[in-house]
Structure 1
Amino acid sequence: MMNMKLAFVAAICFGNPLVPAMAIAEDHPQITRTATGVSVTFSGSATAIDQEVTLDVITDRIIHVVAKPLGGHVAPSESLVIVDSLRRTAGPWTLEEASDYLRLKTAALTARVSLLSGAVDFLDGRGQPLLAEERRDATTFESDAYDGDAFYRIRQHFSVSQTEGLYGLGQHQKGVMNYQGRQVTLLQYNTMIGVPFLLSTNNYGILWHNYSITKAGDIRPLLPLSAFRLYSKEGQRGWLTATYRDKDDPETIRLSRPESEIDYRYLSDQPRFPDSVNLASSLVTYEGQLESPYSGLHRLHFTYSGYVKVWVDDQLQEDRWRESWNAGSFELALAMEAGHRHDIRIEWLPDGSQSYLGIAWQRPIPDTVKGTFSFDSEAGAGVDYYFVTGDSMEDVIGGYRHLTGRAPIMPRWAFGFWQSRERYKTQADLESTAMEFRRRKIPIDNMVQDWSYWREHDWGSHDFDPARFPDPEGMVDRLHKNHFHLMISVWPKINEASSVYTRFRDNGWLYPRNIYDRRKDWIGKGYTSTFYDPFNARARMGFWELMNEKLYQKGIDAWWMDASEPDVHSNINIDARKSVMQPAIGSSVRYYNAFPLENARGIYEGQRDTDPNQRVFILTRSYFAGQQRYAAAAWSGDISSRWHDMKDQIAAGVNFSMSGTPYWTMDAGGFLVERRFHNPSAEDQEEWRELNARWYQYGAFLPIFRAHGQFPYREPFNIAPEGHLAYNSMRYSIGLRYRLLPYTYSLAGGIYLYNATMLRGLAMDFPHDTQTLNVGDQFLFGPSLLVSPVTQPGVTSREVYLPQGAGWYDFYSGEYHRGGQRLAAAAPYERIPLFVKTGSIIPLGPELQYTDEKPAREITLFVYAGADASFELYEDEGTNYNYEQGKFSTIAFTYQDGTGVLHIGNRKGSFEGMLARRIFRIVYVQPERPQGVDTSISTTQTATYSGKEQRIKLK
């Protein structure tokens, strides 16, 4: 038997494609070596389900794992995420059997397959465990079908360390930073983005290669409210007391009834409200007590629109608002002991005749489930994921982009300020607003034309309404001459009454179900409409051809791809959305989440084919893995203009960025506006101004800085008069954004060249400081700037955490603070706390009115002592793709803290229009010599630079 085992090891190590049957014990799995990995087949095993487990080596740090049941008749899914040109760059790798494992080893990573269960685990280059699958069982693959498509429902559990931080997974709006022990639904929905990439502080990632709606993390089903033991207001067991009052006269009770379920989340749930009650004029209270059969931390998951306040044990826990047609969500953590009652009162003021409220809850995590992270997907051909590791979290993100595509560099003007509004109704309105920015000398590069620039019935035509936009070509030309770029809203939606509907219908490019259902939108008299099918290559081409003819040829610069979930109708349930979506390549259940990816693909490929050297910019409300390769940035959807929504954006945006998808923004100021701000009191007016000032301060440190929203108008001069603190603050934030352009654009260059990340959770740079793991209200902008937005009204300081492992300088004053402490940081009305890490180099350019107003002939170079530092200044032509052919330049700056020497390296590369000579004014910031951007700056030294290296002893 020993000789048989040696023959087996030799076979798999030295290339025999199939181990001889005589070398395999009766219950031993069949092992087949392939050119790029190994396949292990279990059949009739007493310790494993019948399955085939395949490991495919992509690079030394990436292994593709697929597990499929034997004997199935499920077609493989189309691969939409992984780049066609995926390069396998693995060095030598080996296979060997050791004990009950088959070990596949690369230079940096070991994957082991249990020969008993088929479970795979991963070890780093030092043999330390990273991640382990839990054994697959009968629940892993459950046969299912939809629309003639046979597939499996897929579940896979992983064992993770309970001390690691887990991030990514797209954009979610519950204010959660670390997904350890949490449940996340990967779903495309207004304000929600599902990206199936998980990133760990233990320097690995999982790209879950599945396109269907997926639950991740703690996937145990959420429980309905009735799973609690409920007590009414009067103490009767079995329900809460629901009281429907007249909102204008709360003493008038219209109806009181028992309710043990609060689950009104979609339009289809509306009939379950009392027939005799008009929600639009009601105030609803739910009162009583909750008692749980479990002890531990419970999480109540709320879906809501209108005004909602929640009290637990007489303590106000939440006070929220969302407009009726766009429900929001939040979680409420509640520590409970089994059998102990807690008073609860929910006060709900619906916002309109159709409003939404739902409550479910997550049980405490039992000890047997702690340390488990799972994926549960509605449809797939098998367990399918890529395991990625690296020396840092940024390395892991680089592996993700190796698989899914490098992010192109956005045009330089995209890193200026964007002004938008819902909406500019005429070309005169848009142009006069643009020129008011120029008159006031508020820096700006980009204007945005939102929806309904077409005639009312003609949604999808991309034709301007000639009554309101009589000369769109002239409008665009005048904007360009005044150094503006114009982004325009383009929906993947076409009205049945549209002038292009017949063309798209007859070519089979539409989803017809919405038309046959006669589902109408909310415009004018209401129009039946549907969406085109971007999974159909010819439909993608046809959609771009229409955009090109009607918009691009008029000079439009950028594309705002709204409702790209697709949002076939607000507030219909997910099953109804699936019935409308009929992808050309398969069922909607299997490919539900990939619509925005294919939509962006059509626009990107279409423009690059039409105009190969003009950079594409796409802003999209929904996003999927790989979409970064199509020059797409995401924004966080139709959030509300409230402080709580501003705070929730921080964790949402940082987790989106840590999903490997680098460009993100939001509506600075929020989109949906309470009616109290339409005709505000003096107090409300001042809150509105403060809210917007704080939001601009935050937005200035995002990859894309964009203001947008419903009425009141969102331009700084429409928010507050000149001289007001809010006006001054917004001007300062925009001006600082432009001065930081050398820093920001260099970060963008690093995204393309090195797979860097601009918007960073604190754990990315300080993974060993456990205090950073759950910080969801601060972030790093690039490697150097610690940003701490102010998300409460009326405050002039906020607590910030300064991570351990670095010292920190106040950006404005230069005052030094040690790391590893919580600090009550000053936050005057016009500033948010902003700190710089020791060992940083930050270039500031000149004041600008627009990004290409003048080259940065003089750069103020802030060098922050306390640690060694480096920075690479990246420059190129700004608007074309010549950088892909190497036409760009970099200048490397390094600072040695021990010697106080700044080294400016030789310039590498060149491009047309590159500055031959420039001046660097060096500001040396030390703990004992504080200097900041708001102080009287003392230049330490001045270097005239012509491309040759210099060494400067800083004094």
Structure 2
Amino acid sequence: MQIMNKFTLLAMLFYASVGFAQKYQLTGNGLKASVGGTDVELQFYNASTVRVLKSPQGRSFEKKSLAVTEVPEKVRISVKENGNSVRLKTSGVEVVFDMETGVVGFFDAGGKLLVSEQGRPSFKDFNDAGNKTFSVRQSFRLDKDEPVYGLGILQNGKMSQRGQTKRMVQGNVEDYIPFIQSVKGYGIYWDNYSPTDFIDAGEETAFRSEVGDCIDYYFMYGGNADGVVAKMRRLTGDVPMIPLWAYGYMQSKERYKSQDEIVGVLRKYRELNVPIDCVIQDWQYWGHNYLWNAMDFQNPLFRNPKKMMDDIHGMNARVMISIWSSFGPATRPYRELAGKGMLFDFGTWPQSGIDSWPPDRNYPSGVRVYDAYNPEARDIYWKYLNDGVFKFGIDGWWMDSTEPDHLDFKPEDFDTKTYMGSFRKVRNAYPLMTVGGVYDHQRAATSDKRVMILTRSVFAGQQRYGANVWSGDVGSSWETLRKQVPAGLNFTLAGNPNYNSDIGGFFCGHYNKSYADGGAPRNPMFQELYVRWLQFSAFNPMMRSHGADAPREIYQFGKKGEPVYDAIEKAIRLRYSLLPYIYSTSWDVSRRRGSFMRALVMDFADDRNVWDMNDEYMFGRSILVAPVLEAHYTPEVAVKVNENDGWDRDRKKVENAVKADFTKSHHSKVYLPAGTVWYDFWTNERHDGGREISKTTKLDVIPLYVKAGSIVPIGPDVQYSAEKAWDNLELRVYTGADGEFVIYEDEFDNYNYEKGEYTEIPVSWSNASRRLTIGRRKGAYKGMIQKRKFTIVTQDGVRKTVSYDGRKVSVRL
């Protein structure tokens, strides 16, 4: 065994150059070799992450990753030859390179095989808009029964992604990240931005990309799912804190047609005393389609944007506003970008300059997508966004069509020239570039307001831009709702924690058609679906109601005292009560690379029953969520609708609406993972894990269970997130196991936390002594709570209140 240091590395280099020059040579962080006409390089980025580069022998190229931000560190590597193989071992992994075949195998530090390549790489000649390059492919050998997760936001309803072939090109309702992770605790990130196939068939699991100067992938070993997510974040960027208000309830629709309307919606919520933190303005505040995305309030119904902002801020709420990746020909950004050759020439939304449906192709809109790969184009984009919109005090960006919309597709569209080569070569990274451009520019402009971005598409690394991604213009159906759960979980397992979906589904026109009296919001079939979707979204990183065809405000569904209205209000209030838990979890996400929505395999990998479970998950590390995903009160209606034909609102029909008694009780089956005790969130009933139970539900109740040993802070009853200080939090302690939780607080909406201006209050529970300890407060920030109370409640009825001034206090319960 040889330990690589300055002297042994020189010796190895000499030895390799004399006896094995044709085989391999060691480098400062791995090795290089040429085998079978292929150049291979292994680069250790850290002790558990290895980059693998392969290219046709002798071909020179330059590859700078758009997603990877990690810089390789010095890693202590031991090297040993064994027959025809070279073994490179660190404290984290062992990598074996076969000098005869070029195959690379990956093992844990104990020598257990995790995964290996299968066969030789494939390089097929490809003419990419006149540039000679390759289509590239690499296969891997996985265990037959080994589940893998990730790939982004998919609408296939699957948890494990084995047994399928998936074409990955960014679209409206599916967003792709070429990354998988295994239940065995490793991940593979395929660093390619062109149209890519994930293939899992027979004995082969492979990535195949249309364009690549080389094969470039990263193997990472984390030991478990959290560890893999942490490695992916370390590789591609950590998650910044978003403001507290962004975890409150958000109301939207397609679209509020005047500033009076959007202000009126917020005012109505305040009159009803229903909590809300944000109203969202969708498109056409700029005017007609020839002014598409003008980044200017040219619509006369938005005559005074400053007053609109003042009115909304005066009611202690925020505004998020729609911006796009394209511009109409009558806009100033279009003219400047066109003059510099920074607009693409392929079909995009909208297709007509006249705001009517269906599009009138006799009057083409002329809208064109901008070249977000070009740094100067990103500068121009921000210049107009800042001057025309941000100056009024807008609080968040709804970046729509960041995939971007690519309609009337023609193969030659991929030949479109971008700043970084053909559109084909960098196509899937478009959302990363355009979202990153807005984030970077706002960060440069001010540190007083955290960047808040909601966007429709994503690529690897986008989590570093504080972007919450929604699942696109999905249809309103139970089957679609069911698919949103594994969509969010696989997205999380690919490294990005910030997921949400349109509550109720975007297209609900079929429910209007079947219920003329008040439309979809008064149709019991849509009411039940909407309530269950809302309850699911209360346990998403963002809780946002949005859709077309019918309004979604709470008062559209009835009035207080009626079951549907009350169920909606209850879910929103539940969300607000959990804000201290959610905000502290957001700190765990940012600081410790944790996750909000946690597939059960993340916490219970030893329980094989959860490996492929697609209808339950943990929210944070304490609360198990089993959303109701089937109709109990009304018939389920199978509706097939996609983001293109969904706009044709008049042709979709369902059976006539039915009457429903929403006061009745029903039952839902819930599996409680093994290895812990669980408590019913609503009743505190105790259950052993490792079995399925039946939970009695009503319209306003979904199954929620809390893991033994959990400490869950509960916040005050508020109308908006920061209305009341957290100076008398309730700490719910669930006994039966030791536990701990860190309560995190800061100024809620600036970047002073990056300078250390925040506090952490560690709370721990000793089950043996039944003692809760609230530890010494760590840190400080301007305006922090100096003295407070905590009301401690256990699930078995003990209740005590203690005073706390930042010093350690302990209480026996």
> Normalising by the residue count of structure 1, what TM-score does the alignment of the two structures yield?
0.78
Does residue 433 of the first structure (1) align with residue 292 of the second (2)?
Answer: no
Does residue 553 of the first structure (1) align with residue 394 of the second (2)?
Answer: no
Aligned to 1:293: none
1:921 partner SS: strand
Among 66, 70, 81, the alignment partner of 1:80 is 66
Among 230, 234, 248, the alignment partner of 1:416 is 248
Does residue 591 of the first structure (1) align with residue 450 of the second (2)?
Answer: no
Can you list the C-alpha shifts for 1:16-51, whole angstroms capped at 9, x where unaligned?
A: 4734577436xx743222222211222xxxxxx211
Among 569, 572, 588, the alignment partner of 1:731 is 569
Once the two structures are superposed, the pairs formed by residues 939-950 of structure 1 within 5 Å of their partners are 939-950=798-809
Aligned to 1:910: 780
Aligned to 1:380: 212
Does residue 605 of the first structure (1) align with residue 605 of the second (2)?
Answer: no
Mind listing any 5+ residue stretches in structure 2 that lack a counterpart? 357-362, 634-665
Alignment-mate amino acid for residue 292 of structure 2: W
**Does structure 2 conserve the Cα–Cα contact (< 8 Å) formed by 1:641 and 1:670?**
yes
Aligned to 2:27: 34
Alignment-mate amino acid for residue 117 of structure 2: E
Once the two structures are superposed, the pairs formed by residues 528-547 of structure 1 within 5 Å of their partners are 528-547=366-385
Can you list the C-alpha shifts for 1:913-934, whole angstroms capped at 9, x where unaligned?
A: 1111111111112xxx3xxxxx
Using the alignment, how far apart are the partners of 1:106 and 1:501 within structure 2?
53
Using the alignment, how far apart are the partners of 1:882 and 1:217 within structure 2?
45
Structure 1's consecutive aligned runs of 4 or more residues displaced over 6 angstroms after TM superposition are 6-12
**Does structure 2 conserve the Cα–Cα contact (< 8 Å) formed by 1:149 and 1:586?**
no
Among 876, 881, 905, the alignment partner of 2:746 is 876
Alignment-mate amino acid for residue 615 of structure 1: R
Mind listing any 5+ residue stretches in structure 1 that lack a counterpart? 1-5, 43-48, 219-364, 930-937
1:512 partner SS: coil
**Does structure 2 conserve the Cα–Cα contact (< 8 Å) formed by 1:190 and 1:622?**
yes
Aligned to 1:620: 455
Once the two structures are superposed, the pairs formed by residues 102-117 of structure 1 within 5 Å of their partners are 102-117=86-101
Can you list the C-alpha shifts for 1:90-137, whole angstroms capped at 9, x where unaligned?
A: 542222212221111111111110111111111111111111111215
Alignment-mate amino acid for residue 174 of structure 1: N
Aligned to 2:175: 193
**Does structure 2 conserve the Cα–Cα contact (< 8 Å) formed by 1:531 and 1:568?**
no
Once the two structures are superposed, the pairs formed by residues 519-918 of structure 1 within 5 Å of their partners are 520=352, 523-524=355-356, 525-569=363-407, 572-573=408-409, 575=411, 577-579=413-415, 581-678=416-513, 680=515, 685-794=523-632, 796-918=666-788
Aligned to 1:121: 105
Pick which of 208-217 and 430-439 moved more: 208-217
Can you list the C-alpha shifts for 1:712-747, whole angstroms capped at 9, x where unaligned?
A: 100111123322211101101100101100100001
Does residue 67 of the first structure (1) align with residue 51 of the second (2)?
Answer: no
2:137 partner SS: strand
**Does structure 1 conserve the Cα–Cα contact (< 8 Å) formed by 2:321 and 2:398?**
yes
Aligned to 1:15: 10
Q: Are the structure 2 counterparts of residues 60 and 518 from structure 1 closer, same or farther at C-alpha, using a change threshold of 3 Å?
A: closer
**Does structure 1 conserve the Cα–Cα contact (< 8 Å) formed by 2:230 and 2:593?**
yes
Aligned to 2:320: 487
Q: Are the structure 2 counterparts of residues 801 and 40 from structure 1 closer, same or farther at C-alpha, using a change threshold of 3 Å?
A: same
Q: Are the structure 2 counterparts of residues 434 and 9 from structure 1 closer, same or farther at C-alpha, using a change threshold of 3 Å?
A: closer
1:181, distance to aligned residue in structure 2 (A): 2.1
Q: Are the structure 2 counterparts of residues 843 and 117 from structure 1 closer, same or farther at C-alpha, using a change threshold of 3 Å?
A: same
Using the alignment, how far apart are the partners of 1:417 and 1:645 within structure 2?
22
Once the two structures are superposed, the pairs formed by residues 108-507 of structure 1 within 5 Å of their partners are 108-137=92-121, 140-218=122-200, 365-366=201-202, 369=203, 372-456=204-288, 457-507=290-340
Alignment-mate amino acid for residue 643 of structure 1: W
1:604 partner SS: helix
**Does structure 2 conserve the Cα–Cα contact (< 8 Å) formed by 1:191 and 1:637?**
yes
Q: Are the structure 2 counterparts of residues 415 and 20 from structure 1 closer, same or farther at C-alpha, using a change threshold of 3 Å?
A: same
**Does structure 2 conserve the Cα–Cα contact (< 8 Å) formed by 1:12 and 1:96?**
no
Can you list the C-alpha shifts for 1:135-155, whole angstroms capped at 9, x where unaligned?
A: 215xx1112122123322111
Among 23, 37, 45, the alignment partner of 1:50 is 37
Aligned to 2:654: none
2:379 partner SS: helix
2:590 partner SS: helix
**Does structure 2 conserve the Cα–Cα contact (< 8 Å) formed by 1:13 and 1:94?**
no
Can you list the C-alpha shifts for 1:153-206, whole angstroms capped at 9, x where unaligned?
A: 111111112333211110000101111223233221010100122121111111
Q: Are the structure 2 counterparts of residues 724 and 37 from structure 1 closer, same or farther at C-alpha, using a change threshold of 3 Å?
A: same
Aligned to 2:646: none
1:583, distance to aligned residue in structure 2 (A): 1.8
Using the alignment, how far apart are the partners of 2:163 and 2:169 within structure 1?
19
Using the alignment, how far apart are the partners of 1:827 and 1:99 within structure 2?
64
1:468 partner SS: helix
**Does structure 1 conserve the Cα–Cα contact (< 8 Å) formed by 2:16 and 2:25?**
no
Using the alignment, how far apart are the partners of 1:520 and 1:105 within structure 2?
60
Using the alignment, how far apart are the partners of 1:8 and 1:493 within structure 2?
55
Q: Alignment RMSD, CA only?
A: 2.2
1:600, distance to aligned residue in structure 2 (A): 0.6
Whichever of the two has the greater Rg, that structure is 1
1:617, distance to aligned residue in structure 2 (A): 0.7
Pick which of 670-679 and 601-610 moved more: 670-679
1:641 partner SS: coil
**Does structure 1 conserve the Cα–Cα contact (< 8 Å) formed by 2:134 and 2:211?**
yes
Using the alignment, how far apart are the partners of 1:856 and 1:8 within structure 2?
54
Using the alignment, how far apart are the partners of 1:732 and 1:9 within structure 2?
61
2:421 partner SS: coil
Can you list the C-alpha shifts for 1:268-289, whole angstroms capped at 9, x where unaligned?
A: xxxxxxxxxxxxxxxxxxxxxx
1:778, distance to aligned residue in structure 2 (A): 1.1
Alignment-mate amino acid for residue 640 of structure 1: G
**Does structure 1 conserve the Cα–Cα contact (< 8 Å) formed by 2:3 and 2:79?**
no
2:125 partner SS: strand
2:757 partner SS: coil
Can you list the C-alpha shifts for 1:754-784, whole angstroms capped at 9, x where unaligned?
A: 0011111110111111110111111110111
**Does structure 1 conserve the Cα–Cα contact (< 8 Å) formed by 2:378 and 2:437?**
yes
Q: Are the structure 2 counterparts of residues 7 and 397 from structure 1 closer, same or farther at C-alpha, using a change threshold of 3 Å?
A: closer
Alignment-mate amino acid for residue 626 of structure 2: S
Using the alignment, how far apart are the partners of 2:255 and 2:17 within structure 1?
75
1:948, distance to aligned residue in structure 2 (A): 1.1
Q: Are the structure 2 counterparts of residues 823 and 522 from structure 1 closer, same or farther at C-alpha, using a change threshold of 3 Å?
A: farther
Using the alignment, how far apart are the partners of 2:571 and 2:478 within structure 1?
19
**Does structure 2 conserve the Cα–Cα contact (< 8 Å) formed by 1:9 and 1:97?**
no
Does residue 92 of the first structure (1) align with residue 66 of the second (2)?
Answer: no
Alignment-mate amino acid for residue 221 of structure 2: T
Can you list the C-alpha shifts for 1:807-849, whole angstroms capped at 9, x where unaligned?
A: 1111000001111111222221111111111121111011111
Q: Are the structure 2 counterparts of residues 132 and 858 from structure 1 closer, same or farther at C-alpha, using a change threshold of 3 Å?
A: same
Can you list the C-alpha shifts for 1:610-637, whole angstroms capped at 9, x where unaligned?
A: 1133200111100000011111110000
Alignment-mate amino acid for residue 67 of structure 1: K
1:88, distance to aligned residue in structure 2 (A): 3.5
